[in-house]
Amino acid sequence: MLGRITVGLSSGTSGNRGLFLVSGRERAKWVAAVWQKVLPKKMYKGKIAFFLRANSNLYTSVKSKRWQFHFFDLMQPLSEHLERLATLSPEVLVAPPSVLLRIAHRQAEGKVLIHPKKIISVAEVLEPADRKEMEAVFGQTVHQVYQCTEGFLASSCAFGVLHFHEDRLRIEKEYLPGNPACFYPIITDFNRITQPIVRYKLNDLVHERTTACPCGSVMLAIDHIEGRADDIFEFSGAGGQKKQVFPDFIRRVMLSSEAVQEYVVEQTAPAQLLIHIQAQNFEIACRELQEAFGQFFKENGLAECELIFNSDLPLLRDAKLRRIKRRFQED
Ligand SMILES: [Zn+2]
């Protein structure tokens, strides 16, 4: 908090750095919208398990006398969370898809047994194959929320289809040439005054749904968002044990250098990262990243890693926009 303003930093769905500012009034409206659009219908209380890189008073403000909010820190190994998750047995489970998939695997193996009423995928793009797998394990629709620095943009209806919140936002479309169903959204948010968002173009490529959604909503339906399907990295802890690091953390380290304009990070071996960057000043970017990664490894008890820098950027616009890739198999 800075005075009465909530200040937040975000890496957004598209992986761009952003700063957001919201007043108490705007925050209250945001909470109301989350309650209305995201929490299960006809349920008025329960426990929400929330897996995130960092907690924020914006998120915990959703809690109330009826909804309890339980934060799970993504930097802790998932294995340490599973027992707490099972004991908690949350009604609502919110996590990035990479984490949801791991929980689903444990559930399928019988190592954790939870019965959430609603599962919500956040922060990363949900891949159809992963979604199918999770839905099979939990026997329910996996929902999505599309939220970033620029606002609370879309959430899924009862059929699991994402709809833009056109009751809160104006969405303009910048179509890709030659592709009538694929666009970059340009958003104007009617609820933001502290930090006005006016005709702001997002980097996410949105594929429009071409058939009407069975829910009957007139709000613009999204088939899918072409975004990141980044990989989880695996490093050695200081004691030699394996430690998983979610893409969001790597993204954050990369964005800590102001000089970096575009990037791809590949983990080529357990103790080696190949970092491709496009930067205004390559030398400065390398120095800043060297320092930032050094600090990240130290703070998280990870063994040092060799960093190889490359000023050539591999083509990003492939089928999947993957900025963070692991190039060796987990064993
Ligand atoms: Zn719908």
User: Residue 135: what pLDDT?
Assistant: 97
* Cα angle, residue 48 at apex, residues 46 and 54 outer, rounded to 5°: 155
User: Residue 147: what pLDDT?
Assistant: 81
Say how many Å lie between the CA of residue 223 and the centre of ligand 1.
11
Say how many Å lie between the CA of residue 154 and the centre of ligand 1.
11
User: Residue 317: what pLDDT?
Assistant: 43
Say how many Å lie between the CA of residue 43 and the centre of ligand 1.
20
Say how many Å lie between the CA of residue 160 and the centre of ligand 1.
7
User: How do residues 129-171 score in pLDDT, each as one tens digit?
Assistant: 789 999 999 999 999 998 876 678 999 999 999 999 999 999 9
Judged on CB neighbours under 10 Å (0-12, 13-18, 19+), 153 is buried
The segments of the chain whose pLDDT lies below 70 read 10-17, 54-59, 61, 149-150, 227-230, 314-322, 330-331
User: Residue 143: what pLDDT?
Assistant: 96
User: Residue 232: what pLDDT?
Assistant: 77
User: How do residues 1-49 score in pLDDT, each as one tens digit?
Assistant: 888 898 877 655 455 567 888 898 998 888 888 888 888 888 888 999 9
Say how many Å lie between the CA of residue 194 and the centre of ligand 1.
31
The closest of 38, 40, 1 to 22, measured between CA atoms, is 1
Say how many Å lie between the CA of residue 227 and the centre of ligand 1.
21
Residue 173: phi, psi to the nearest 5? -120, 130
Say how many Å lie between the CA of residue 155 and the centre of ligand 1.
9
- Ligand 1 is an ion; its neighbours by CB within 5 Å are 157, 159, 161, 213, 215, 217
Which residues contact residue 159 at a Cβ distance below 8 angstroms, ignoring those fewer than 6 apart?
141, 213, 214, 215
User: Residue 319: what pLDDT?
Assistant: 39
Say how many Å lie between the CA of residue 68 and the centre of ligand 1.
28
Going 210 to 211 to 214 to 218, the CA torsion angle's sign is: positive
User: Residue 165: what pLDDT?
Assistant: 95
Q: What tokens does 314 get?
A: 């591999």
Say how many Å lie between the CA of residue 283 and the centre of ligand 1.
49
According to DSSP, residue 231 is labeled: P
